Structure 1
């Protein structure tokens, strides 16, 4: 299970190489970070990620990055059966056209 503090520290110290994204399982972004690491753009984006990881709630982080670790409740499809027709006055009225 991934931890948001670990992701934030990786973003701060090794974010220019995309290590924090590799930790979070986003390998395509890591390739782009390695391709453009000489421009320092990935380092700037990693610093923004560092701030976001520190400010986001644990529930939001878990929902985005740890969804596979939490089982979603299985809801069975339940189709209720209609109630039996009543034998009241309305069932005895006939409509004549």
Structure 2
């Protein structure tokens, strides 16, 4: 709403109200944009979590294979590794972060 003239401002207000009533732009457009932005943010977050907890790590088909890898690491000085089942790929991975 840029004009200071009453007649122009009244026209702008009327146009805005008609857009709201007709579902054109206005708040509906804002809500749709916000929903798209939130969906993109969630997809980006999920992709980052998948990369962090699955894709950048070695995958083991069985828990026994992961246990062997953990023992191999311990023999070479890496202690405190945990084994977990991956929710993304269904395989097994090692992590240095303890589970609560």
TM-score computed with the length of structure 2 as normaliser: 0.30
Q: Which one scores higher on RCO, CA 8 angstroms, separation ≥ 6?
A: 1
TM-score, structure 1 as length reference: 0.30
Question: Which structure features the higher share of strand residues?
Answer: 2
